[in-house]
Structure 1
Amino acid sequence: MARTPMALQDSSGGAGAGSTPTRSRCVTETVNGSHHFTINGYSLAKGMGVGKYIASDSFTVGGYQWAIYFYPDGKNAEDNSLYVSVFIALASEGTDVRALFELTLLDQSTKAKHKVHSHFDRSLESGPYTLKYRGSMWGYKRFFRRAVLETSDFLKNDTLAITCTVGVVVSSTQGPKLYSIPLPEPDLGTHFGSLLDSGEGADVTFEVDGEIYQAHKLVLAARSPVFKAQLYGPMRDRNAGKIKIEDIEAPVFKAMLHFIYRDSLPDTHELTGSSSSASTLMAQHLLAAADRYGLDRLRLLCESKLCEDVSTDTVATTLALAEQHHASQLKAVCLKYAAANLAAVMHSDGFEYLKDSCPSLQSELLRTVAGVDEDVGTGIRNRSVWGQHSDGTDANGRRVRQRT
């Protein structure tokens, strides 16, 4: 996020001769962030009714949640659907939030003649706009005449694209910093990674799929409770200078060692090639290895990676994997995705595997489906559903501040 500063400085001095004045300054600036909102199927959205909107997903700027509201039939009944309306809404709790806004309707031709409404880089007579509470909005009831919009370069392949920038005004008082020394980035992982690469001082050897890897017992024990028990516990093999690892492929074990020493994921493309499916498969195997060796942070990194790749083709197998290896956050994501796309998921190749490998998940999936249906019935399935609120109110039915 960018910051645009304005500074006010004050000073005060003592009454005695030779006294040194102390100084401080108040810095008022904007914390800026943008969100790109694509509306596919514009022609299907028409006719939903005046005052009803399509909402973007919420996005965070300056510690507050925001959302873009697009009204295909306009916000005002008196305009007789001649205009489309666009507003930016405060979507989280907040009181008297001051902000600048910019709305851009993107020209999708090569001309790039975008329609821009902006408060940035120009003087404002009364300063930034103030949003009083959650649900308060700023925007344009007559953002664009609908007949002109539908024959323009802004609409292409029945799709509109809107970019919104929000600049939240924040202030802070700063005292003097007499001395300042820039700090370098943490390099512990770099040094331990070099130790792994060189093999210097290694005191344990692993054989994995015919490949040999040297490592250091103390490092492994410090990072993994399983390695600690295996190498230093009461049941350890005192003569085991070489350990054979079963059921883990060599590239997966190498990636796990990389994490243990460097606390980061390796470049999986170097290990598996450029295929995204191979990268996903590596993350799946690495998740299983992380669970086996008690590497909780590695498991979470793998959960995050697999969450990005969830689709109707992968969600069933990923859900089974999450259940088997205690990946609770990934499991929750998969259940919600599968419930929302149940018909397509049931026809995927992985669904039969899910039924056979994790039959207990069927009841959890049904409960999740019931929860999704309940949300749909109350109109709160997610932030992107078509809003049902009448003109001039927020999600709680309160009147909101509007600007045209």
Structure 2
Amino acid sequence: LTSAFTIRSEAVNKGGPAEKRAQLPISDEATNGAAEVLELTGTATTTTTTTTVTTMADDGSAQDESVKVVKFNYMWTINNFSFCREEMGEVLKSSTFSAGASDKLKWCLRINPKGLDEESRDYLSLYLLLVQCAKSEVRAKFKFSILNAKREETKAMESQRAYRFVQGKDWGFKKFIRRDFLLDESNGLLPDDRLSIFCEVSVVAETVNVTGQTSAQQFKLCKSLMNPNPMGQQLRLSKILEGGGDQSHPWGSAGWGLSSTSVGTTRCLVPYYGLKQCPSAIQVPPCRLSEDLSALFESKQFSDCTLVATCKSNGPQTFHVHKAILAARSRVFHAMFEHNMTESERNEVAIDDVEPDVLREMLCFMYTGSSPCVDQMAQHLIAAADKYHLDRLKVMCEQALCAALTAENACVTLVLADLYSAEQLRTHAINYINVNATEVMNSEGWKDLVKEHPTLLAEVFKALATQQTPPVVLAAPPKKRIKHCPY
């Protein structure tokens, strides 16, 4: 028995520095039944997809920008899993794998069979580790699942976005699956005491620009990152040339997730050359309603009411407005002017709970339907939009706050969503907290949430438990099978 263990220890050392293990050696080779030892094996497969973006260069030629996404799978098999003796915090690592022989990125999986720390001691923790990287960083999504006795994927958990990996950095799930659920033979996750972990990785590789001439009538204007959600649209060009008829061009767009520290803007310009106008064409000028109403508000002409906003620093500020427009846009102002209230008789309305700059932005929206400063004022505008029943402005504020979510402001945003019944923002904030729980729990906003908002805290924990905890199965404790060494 001693000799068998010694041989396997040498096999590990030949493959590189061995992780600290309890007693049992680890090998990527078969045991041939020589002894009951922990055995790890793995295989990888690779596919590569490329998404192309066609743009126009300065000289009028077509320019293709290709974003390559490399997808590969890795199957990690651990035989005799119930004999694993690693204690809480101790690690098992797979052999390294990559997308191919020429790929400079080297990855491995690591598990903590009895959890990473005290909080996860009843769970198996599972992580994807970037072992070697020639670049400063890479971005990748990953999905873990366990193959049952029928070789079907079960208990899958997937990253919500592409995470930033640097060499030596890992991402994964501290509470991947409960140990009692995994070890229960009735669940069929350890056939023949074999744990099979299936990992899918999608790496955003380099961007390549290709310039050349093209006569294609269909242009690819879709920039895709990880798992885009396509939306189909039609661009219809009315009659261009006599006898030519109308032309329809299929268009596509896609959405993708950005990390909390990234902001991206994609603009698309499609130039057409050599177009001629039909002699019989009548060109309709663009609608200027928004611009005209904005000019009406700024000029103060024909105004019949004054809004007075108090300002702590500069005193009250007045805004000359038109009752008809305010009443048409807001049910609150409509009721105020309709029922012969004091404000209606004096043609003056005191606004005590909205700062002047916020009130001006709200009035800009009521006159024009747009809010140029919504990103900067979203936290204050959402309160005004909720009070005066400006539903579209409220949703615009939700969108701006959702795009600005970070670990520092996620809890504050959740409280704001709860205060003003912003359900979409509430859902996004809870999801963000769940995905970035470690960073969020170190923020000042989390401390305030724990202290001042226990109901919201309970809702966050409920969502987190629903996402990560497998269903409870009442069954007898698993029985270990004891095999005797033939020597």
What TM-score does the superposition give when structure 2 sets the normalisation length? 0.42
Q: 1:257 aligned to 2:354?
A: no
8 A Cα contact 2:45 2:99, kept in partner: no
CA contact (8 A) 1:307 1:330 kept: yes
Q: Is the CA contact (8 Å cut-off) linking 1:73 and 1:81 kept in structure 2?
A: no
CA contact (8 A) 2:407 2:440 kept: yes
Distance 1:344 1:180, change over 3 A: same
- Give 1:327 deviation, angstroms: 1.4
The residue that corresponds to 1:120 in the other structure is none
Task: Summarize the Cα distance change of 1:190–1:316 in structure 2 as closer, same or farther, 3 Å threshold.
Answer: same
Closer, same or farther in 2 for the Cα pair 1:49/1:285, shift >3 Å? farther
Query: Aligned pair in 2 of structure 1 residues 182, 361: CA closer, same or farther (>3 Å)?
Result: farther
The aligned residue for residue 206 of structure 2 is 161
Partner amino acid, structure 1, of 2:371: L
- Amino acid of the structure 2 residue aligned with 1:361: L
2: distance between equivalents of 1:309 and 1:80? 34
Distance 1:262 1:163, change over 3 A: farther
Distance 1:185 1:330, change over 3 A: farther
Query: Which structure's relative contact order is higher, taking Cα pairs within 8 Å and 6+ residues apart?
Result: 1
Residue 287 of structure 1 pairs with residue 388 of structure 2: no
Instruction: Give the Å deviation of 1:352.
Output: 3.1
Q: Secondary structure of the residue that 1:360 maps to in structure 2? A: helix
1:82 matched to 2:183? The reply is: no
1:65-80 matches, within 5 Å, as 69-71=69-71
Question: Which residue in 2 is equivalent to 1:51?
Answer: 45
Shift of 1:59: 11
Contact 2:46–2:100, Cα closer than 8 Å, also in 1: no
Question: Match for residue 176 of structure 1?
Answer: 245
* Matches of 2:308 and 2:68, distance apart in 1: 56
Distance in 2 between residues matched to 1:80 and 1:239, nearest whole Å: 75
What residue is the counterpart of 1:94 in the other structure? none
SS for the counterpart of 2:446 is helix
Separation (CA, whole Å) in 2 of partners of 1:360 and 1:164: 52
What corresponds to 2:433 in structure 1?
Answer: 338
Find the partner of 1:202 among 296, 303, 306: 303
Q: Any unmatched runs of 5+ in structure 2?
A: 1-40, 55-66, 76-97, 105-133, 137-202, 211-218, 223-231, 247-277, 311-315, 471-487
Aligned equivalents of 1:171 and 1:350: distance in 2?
Answer: 46
CA–CA separation in structure 2 for the residues paired with 1:80 and 1:60: 24
**CA 1:299–1:159 in structure 2 vs 1: closer, same or farther (change >3 Å)?**
closer
Aligned to 2:444: 349
**Matched residue of 1:367: which SS?**
helix
> 1:62-141 residue pairs with structure 2 within 5 A?
69-71=69-71, 81-84=100-103
Q: Deviations over 1:41-83 (max 9, x none)?
A: xxxxxx9851267999x9999xxxxx964146899xxx99414
CA 238–363 in structure 1, closer or farther in 2 if over 3 Å, else same: same
Q: Secondary structure at the match of 1:311?
A: coil
Q: Return the alpha-carbon distance in structure 2 between the equivalents of residues 343 and 49 of structure 1.
A: 32
Deviations 1:177-226 (A, max 9, x none): 67543443331111110110010111111111211111000000000111
Shift of 1:266: 2.5
What is the CA–CA distance in structure 2 between the aligned matches of 1:213 and 1:192, rounded to whole Å?
Answer: 15
Equivalence for 2:288: 187
Corresponding residue to 1:230 among 310, 329, 336: 336
2:324 aligned to 214, 218, 232, which one?
218
Return closer, same or farther for 1:183/1:328 CA change in 2, 3 Å cut-off: farther
In structure 2, the CA distance between the partners of 1:237 and 1:243, relative to structure 1 (3 Å rule), is closer
The answer on whether the counterparts of 1:54 and 1:71 sit within 8 Å (CA) in structure 2 is yes
- Closer, same or farther: CA 216–306 of 1 in aligned 2, 3 Å: same
Name the aligned partner's letter for residue 301 of structure 2.
E
The reply on whether 1:306 has 2:375 as its aligned counterpart is no
1:239 Cα shift? 2.0
1:297 counterpart = 2:379: no
2:32 maps to none
SS at match of 1:252: helix
- Counterparts of 2:52 and 2:449 in 1: how far apart (Å)? 34
SS in 1 for 2:346: coil
- Which is higher, the Rg of structure 1 or of structure 2? 2
C-alpha distance in 1 between matches for 2:52 and 2:396: 23
> Greater shift after overlay, 332-341 or 364-373?
364-373
Deviation string 1:214-241 (CA, Å, 9 cap, x unpaired) is: 1000000000111111111365644232
- Which amino acid letter does the alignment assign opposite residue 461 of structure 2? L
* Structure 1 segments unaligned to the other structure (5+ residues): 1-46, 62-66, 86-106, 110-157, 269-278, 376-404
Q: 1:374/1:288 Cα in 2 relative to 1: closer, same or farther (>3 Å)?
A: same
- 1:239 and 1:172 mapped to 2: Cα distance? 52
Cα drift, residue 368 of structure 1: 1.9
SS in 2 for 1:201: coil
Aligned partner of 1:368 in structure 2 is: 463
Aligned residues: 240
What is aligned with 1:117? none
Cα distance between partner residues in 1 of 2:339 and 2:48: 60
Task: Show the 5 A alignment for 1:263-278.
Answer: 263-267=369-373
Asked if 1 retains the 8 angstrom alpha-carbon contact of 2:378 and 2:401, the reply is: yes
Do the aligned partners of residues 164 and 341 (structure 1) sit closer, same or farther apart at CA in structure 2, a change above 3 Å counting? Answer: farther
Q: Is the contact made by 2:307 and 2:348 (CA closer than 8 Å) also made in structure 1?
A: yes
C-alpha change, 1:80 and 1:260, in structure 2 (3 Å) is closer
Paired residue secondary structure (1:322): helix
- Determine the structure 1 residue equivalent to 2:346: 240
